[in-house]
């Protein structure tokens, strides 16, 4: 298993619903650029939502985790590492556009 992981963290101005809706758009735009990728939405509670991103082989390659109004978007594993050069830039661009008042990306 690959230790590759890249994350982008933002805090949304507003409620969980606002952060969740913006995150859904980010997930849609992210997979739209990748043939065969899909995402599913899981609501854990009123203030916790996660979007699981799978590649065209149904391997989980990423997740958007929304806790209250904070959003963590990360990709991980071997499958994500193979496309890291492309995914990282897209992640940062999409998150910067959706959450323009937040801080920079963090590469772990």
Range(s) of the domain holding residue 42: 5-98
Q: Residue 41 sits in a domain of what CATH number?
A: 3.30.160
Residue 104 lies in a domain: no
Q: Residue 2: what pLDDT?
A: 60
Residue range 81-96: mean pLDDT, rounded: 89
Beta-bridge partner residues of 62: 53, 75
Query: Is residue 52 situated within a structural domain?
Result: yes
Note whether residue 41 is domain-resident.
yes
Name 40's bridge partners.
52
Inside any domain, residue 105: no
92 in a structural domain: yes
Whole-model pTM: value is 0.87
Is 28 inside a domain boundary?
yes
- List, for residues 51-87, the tens digit of each pLDDT value: 999 999 999 999 999 999 999 999 999 988 988 888 9
Cα angle, residue 79 at apex, residues 83 and 66 outer, rounded to 5°: 85
- Does 9 reside within a domain? yes
Phi, psi of 75 (to 5 degrees): -120, 155
Q: How many domains does the chain have?
A: 1
């Amino acid at each position: 298993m690959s230790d590759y992981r890249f994350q982008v963290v933002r805090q949304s101005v507003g409620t969980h619903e606002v952060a969740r809706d913006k995150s859904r758009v980010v997930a849609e735009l992210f997979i739209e650029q990748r043939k065969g990728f899909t995402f599913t939405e899981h609501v854990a509670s009123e203030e916790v939502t996660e979007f699981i991103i799978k590649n065209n082989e149904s391997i989980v390659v990423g997740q958007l985790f929304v806790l209250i109004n904070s959003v963590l978007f990360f990709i991980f594993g071997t499958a994500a590492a193979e496309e890291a050069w492309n995914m990282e830039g897209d992640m940062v661009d999409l998150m910067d556009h959706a959450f323009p008042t937040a801080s920079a990306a963090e590469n772990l």
